[in-house]
Structure 1
């Protein structure tokens, strides 16, 4: 694996598909807030349309990549946030799924491709925000828009904790709370309580 450095926050989405643009909105607010409250050194913030090649280039040299995307489950609760955390070195075959997205291949297929090419970030954290509307149009629905601020604060906390972990090892930044939440996140396989949550990017695709 290529030597990695810093963290990359990547909002994925399509601003012309209503709630499918929530990842872009989160990235924009992270960048805006960083003017007054700087992010840890080496942190970069990006917006992505989900194109596999461009997305891989954004994360391939990151020690930590934080992805934000919309998800549209069969019975959505708009604005609900899901969190998956994976240490790629320890779970190399965890990513599966063939779903596509309104803005490209979808996170699952892109992560699988990057793993095949040896171009994954060392650590991967994925947030999925349940959306209500993905028809043509601009602007987030109220419930999804209300989730942006709290999620930005959560990501800032992730970055700060990761920076403080420093040389304490690759898993040091994953809190005990993250381990407990793993067993309750919809879409995770049974038996993950007490272990690092496995990223299920397929759950972020429609």
Structure 2
């Protein structure tokens, strides 16, 4: 019996108009890191961000990984506030489907690789915070626990008090699918930017998700 849904946030519920990852790093992150005496090029940063290398890898260069990510997350917070003020972060029009999912009596969680502060900032900006029983961001005590690791999904299941077979994970990327399957949960790919292979279900939008959920409950 389906009793809960765990949502990805960025590019699943909200999107960033004109966002370019490398430009963001070069214009926002690199100058801040250099101000703290940290030199890190984009290639190494992106490999650790994607977990192609563990996030503790930067210790080899005398960089404290927790300090590094707290600086990056603080920069990201300033960036998000600026983009929100300029109207460049937007909620997808189908996020109103969250209300229908709550009406079905489901427990909902939001899980992001961003920091909890940055995740809450965006959810509150679009009045989405109220729909979620649990909200999780990256855990500084386990920097390698971000998706595609199943760590945050398992943590959400524990806080929702649900076994894996009574939940779904909904997201836009392969990281969401891998994290879901690693935690023993079925994955729903919202096909906003292309179909992700390996997902258990594919939906065009969150209204199709409501239809899928209703069919599962019935």
With the shorter chain as reference, the TM-score category is under 0.3
Q: Which has the higher helix share?
A: 2
Q: TM-score, normalised by structure 1?
A: 0.27
Specify the structure having the higher radius of gyration (Cα): 2
Q: Which has the higher contact order (CA 8 A, sep 6+)?
A: 1
TM-score, length-scaled by structure 2: 0.26
